[in-house]
Structure 1
Amino acid sequence: MRASDRAYATLHSDIINWRLTPGTVLGEVELSERLGVSRTPIREALAKLTAEGLAEPQSGRGMVVSKISLDHLDELFELRSALECRAAELAAKRGEPEIFSALHRQLANAGELITEEDPTRADYYQLAADLDVAVDAAVANHYLAQALKNLRVHLVRVRRLGKDNPARLRDAAREHAAIALAISNGNPAVASAATTVHLDNSLRHLLSTAA
């Protein structure tokens, strides 16, 4: 792997997982020393992060981790609705019912994975990611799948604004289960409607907790 790719992968992970918080200065010298690469790969990595919207220039401070503004949540969820509802519709038409039936069974019991003993919610988030992967595969549309992939980078960061509330996550698990069931039943309209319900509830929760 090229040095710039290694630097990008590390910084990308640090940003979306909030190890580098919004507003953190991304100094070339400091990053070069920390990651053990020259400044040229760091510049290339920062350019890629900037193109993705994860880093941005700030006057007098150089490059910083981009901020997450509540003002942008509505815009983000408008795009999310357009992409995810259409993806759910296509998955219901093109997907293999058995795959989504199995995901429905797992998601219906996902509330048991959300405990205070596991503050990372790793098992639950992996199951939600498995649903995303299954939908992307079922859609069989490279451009739509790529657009969703780019969008999810920002959604991972936004999730932290909701403070990983256990009650909301259990509701979200049930909403994901409903989406999987509608897709497994081959019903595009219901799949889209279930996705709309999930997105509306998610946005309302984010706005209420992050305000």
Structure 2
Amino acid sequence: MRASERAYATLLDEIQTGALAPGTVLGEVEQSTRLGVSRTPLREALRRLASDGLVIQASPRVTVVAGIDADDIRALFDLRRALETEAARLAAQRGDRRVFLALAAEFERVDTADADDYYALIARFDAAIDAAVDNSYLSAALRSVRTHLVRVRRMARDNPLRLSASAREHELIARAIGSGDPELAAHATHVHLHNAFTTILEALTEDPS
């Protein structure tokens, strides 16, 4: 892996997990030393993160981790709703039904107490959606949304009831796709996103930090 890719992957993970909080200053000297890369690949990594919308240039020499607030989350879910409902609808029309019925069975029995395993299952579900839709433009847009979604999901991560409900909602979406029912798949996706959005906003209100 190239030095710039390694630096990008590390910083991306730290931003998404909250290890680098919003507003954290990413000084070139400090970060290049910490990550064990020279300043040129670090700058390449920071440019990619800026393109992702995860860092901003506070000044020509100061880069900071971008914040995320209720308005950002609302805008993200507006886009997510449009993309994911259409992707679910197309997957029900084009996808391998056996793949989604198998995923539905996994969602039915998944242990949401292990959040990492649960989100790994969601990642496989997302990949199956992308493969079924087979539309590079839609998949690229969804990847961009998911990059930010990882940060937002942390707000619901410690809510056991929400994770359990989310698993049931994903099971319904997967079964609708597996049954070849585009409208049910789209509707179930819409309901899931509404519930997720409501929970995340509630968590943000409780913990404004």
TM-score in terms of structure 2 length? 0.94
- Give the Å deviation of 1:60: 9.3
Task: Quote the Cα distance in structure 1 between the aligned partners of 2:157 and 2:122.
Answer: 17
Paired residue for 2:112? Answer: 114
> 1:10 is matched by which residue type in structure 2?
T
Letter in 2 for 1:114: T
Q: 1:60 to 1:137 in 2, by over 3 A?
A: closer
Whichever residue aligns with residue 93 of structure 2, its letter is K
Write the distance in 2 (CA, Å) between the matches of 1:65 and 1:36: 20
Code of the residue aligned with 1:174 in structure 2: it is R
Q: Which residue of 2 aligns with 1:63?
A: 63
1:85 aligned partner: 85
Match of 2:195 among 175, 178, 201: 201
Partner of 1:50, secondary structure, is helix
Q: Residue 22 of structure 2: SS of its match in structure 1? A: coil
**Match runs of 1:1-211 below 5 Å:** 1-59=1-59, 62-110=62-110, 113-115=111-113, 118=114, 121-211=115-205
Q: Is the 8 A contact 1:162 1:210 kept in 2?
A: no
Aligned-residue sequence identity (percent) comes to 53
Structure 2 residue identity aligned to 1:55 = V
TM-score by length of 1: 0.93
1:164, distance to aligned residue in structure 2 (A): 2.6
Report the Cα distance in structure 1 between the residues aligned to 2:154 and 2:101, rounded to whole angstroms.
29
The DSSP-based 3-state class of the residue aligned with 1:63 is strand
* Structure 1 unaligned spans of 5+: none
Count of residue pairs the alignment pairs up: 205
Shift of 1:58: 2.0
Alpha-carbon RMSD across the aligned residues, in angstroms, is: 1.4
**Amino acid in the other structure paired with 1:73:** I
Distance 1:92 1:163 in 2: 28
SS in 1 for 2:155: helix
Amino acid at match of 1:145: S
Contact 2:112–2:167, Cα closer than 8 Å, also in 1: no
Moved over 6 A (4+): none
Give the Cα–Cα distance (whole angstroms) in 2 for the partners of residues 163 and 144 of structure 1. 27
Residues 16 and 151 in structure 2, CA contact (< 8 A), matched pair in contact too? yes
